[in-house]
Structure formats: structure tokens, C-alpha cells
Amino acid sequence: MRVLIDTNIILDFLLQREPFFQNADLLFQSIDSGSVVGYVTATTLTDIFYIARRHNGSIEQARQAISETLTVMAICPVNRAILESAFASGLIDFEDAVQIACAIAQGFDAIATRDADFSSTLIPVLTVEEVLQQIL
């Protein structure tokens, strides 16, 4: 299963944020085992760096978060065509629109998020629990 992983889930795992860490850890175990191929958008990496640095107050820990993400995840490119598609979608949340455009362009099976406002009729949007249920 090829899944675009939303920023919040990556951060739940990297920052061990409760009560979300356990499910994020299970998802990352599934990625490690090959049951799921996890992707992030290129723009997600800048968000992870910024949030991890702010959360930990450490550039080194923020760099470590990027290194771990690059080790585990495949990167979905964000280019002009993706940005134009996201902009043309008319979605209020441009970040979500970019992720949806990436997932559609790459033919992914789903987007995994815990953002209740994240919605798309063009690609399934699943919780981590729903992804885990589909692969077990």
C-alpha cells in the first residue's frame, strides 16, 4: 500500500507525542517491514524542521528529525504543476491541497492523517488506524 503520510503523523512519531505516538509507531513499523510504502511531500520536510526545532529548541534535533524522515520515507516532489493543481482545486487549506495533488499525481492508494478537516473525494483519506486495518 502506497500512502502519503501527513505531517502531523510524522511529528507524532518523531516527537513521541501522546496519545498519538503508539499508532504512529505501528505505522512506521509497517513502513519498515514493507507493508506500507510511506511518502511525504518535499514541503513537509521544511515543516518538520521548523516544528521540531521549535519543539525541542535544538537545530541538531531538528536536523535529526529530517535525517530520520529521509531514511524511512520516499519523497513526493512538489513542482509547479503540483502547485498549480493545488491552487486550482479551490481548497481553503493550501497545504492539504498540495498533499492531495501530490498523492493523485503519484497514484497513491491513500493519504494518512489525523486532521479531521482533511477531506478529498479524489483519493481516500484515512486515519492511521484505518491504514493499519487495511494491511493487517
What pLDDT digit, counting tens, does each position of 94-123 carry? 999 999 999 999 999 999 999 888 877 789
Superfamily of domain 2-135: 5'-nuclease (3.40.50.1010)
- Confidence category of residue 58, pLDDT binned at 50, 70, 90: confident
The whole-model pTM stands at 0.90
- Is the model's pLDDT at 69 over the cut of 80? yes
- Confidence category of residue 133, pLDDT binned at 50, 70, 90: very high
The helix (run of H) or strand (run of E) holding residue 48 is helix 42-56
Share of the chain above pLDDT 90, in %: 73
* β strands within 17-129, DSSP E: 37-41, 74-76, 110-112, 125-126
